[in-house]
Amino acid sequence: MIDKNTVITIVGLGLLGGSYAQAFARAGYGVRGIDIDEDAVSFAKEQGWITEGSTDVSLAADTDILICALYPHVFISWVKENQHLLKPGTLITDVTGVKRSVVSQLSSIIRPDIEYIACHPMAGREYKGIRYADASLFEKANFIIVSTEHNTKEAIQTAEQIAQILKFKKISCLTPEQHDEMIAFLSQLTHIVAVSLMNVKDNTHLADFTGDSFRDLTRIARINEDMWPELFMLNGDYLTSEIEALAAELLRFSDLIRTGNTEEMKRLLIQSTERRKAFEGQS
């Protein structure tokens, strides 16, 4: 378990890595930070979010817990290239938004004396970079621990403790498959819907008339173009099936309008209202 002597190193001081560092610092834990960008390291130091920082990976050498806040393919490469630096018994965790592929790739390359516990902090913003880091994001967010049969009880408990220190609202455990199916629907599909609403036609001349509805549905259309295509690709099977199901549902509604089937529309609106109420009860 983590105590104040545990050496924790965050690799990747972007929006999420920076927010992690900020949250650890607030909770009184001194953590180290590694980033390829010197500016990000200096910024984290200036803010007092890290006790030591470097662009040099050797800072990870004697860490107990290594938190990689990197895009999926960067995370895999980093472990491949640098795990020889780590001491036996190091626990590696991550923040990636897809899990089946990452867990399977990692498990095939990781040193047997190092454990990887997959985590997904479901928090983010429509901006990137440490300057937008904000530890308060976590207070209303879910932290998902994605464990497999290879994980020890201790690693799972440590992941829970990380989520508690970071003050996540809720901690859940899912298998990689459950995680990816859930994320395809709740997060990836909704981002693609928002993006598609912006792209389907040039609607900028309508900005003057926008009410809350359109603004709510497209807030997440401001999106990190470097990260998401990779996440979409790594979850392509679940995601394409969700997108295609939604497109079919939309076309069904269009047919109801074409055929004047107001009774069925009404039934769908009642069902939608009922289901949405259940979400409010739990949110």
Q: What is the x/- site pattern for a second copy, positions 107-126, by CB under 8 A?
A: ---------------xx---
Residue placing its CB nearer to a second copy in the complex, 1 or 207:
207
Pick the binder of a second copy from 16, 163, 166, 194 (CB under 8 A).
194
- Cα–Cα distance, 125 to 263 (Å, whole number): 40
214 binds a second copy (CB under 8 A): yes
Closest CA to 54 of 44, 63, 67, 62: 44
The torsion of the CA quartet 128, 132, 136, 138, rounded to 10 degrees, works out to: 10
Q: How far is the CB of 142 from a second copy (least distance, A)?
A: 6
Is 136 a binder of a second copy (CB under 8 A)?
no
Site string for a second copy, 244-273 (x = CB under 8 A): xxxxxxxx-xx--xx-x-x--xx-xxxxxx
Site string for a second copy, 30-49 (x = CB under 8 A): --------------------
CB atoms within 10 A of CB 73: 15
Cα separation values, 192 from 61, 111, 164, 187, 214, Å:
40, 37, 31, 9, 15
Q: Which amino acid is at 112?
A: P
Residue 176: CB minimum distance to a second copy, A: 15
Smaller CB separation from a second copy, 85 or 243? 243
Site size for a second copy, by CB under 8 A? Answer: 89
- Cβ proximity to a second copy, 148 vs 190, nearer residue: 190
CB of 50 to a second copy, least distance (A): 27
Q: How far is the CB of 208 from a second copy (least distance, A)?
A: 6
Structure tokens at 274: 């009922």
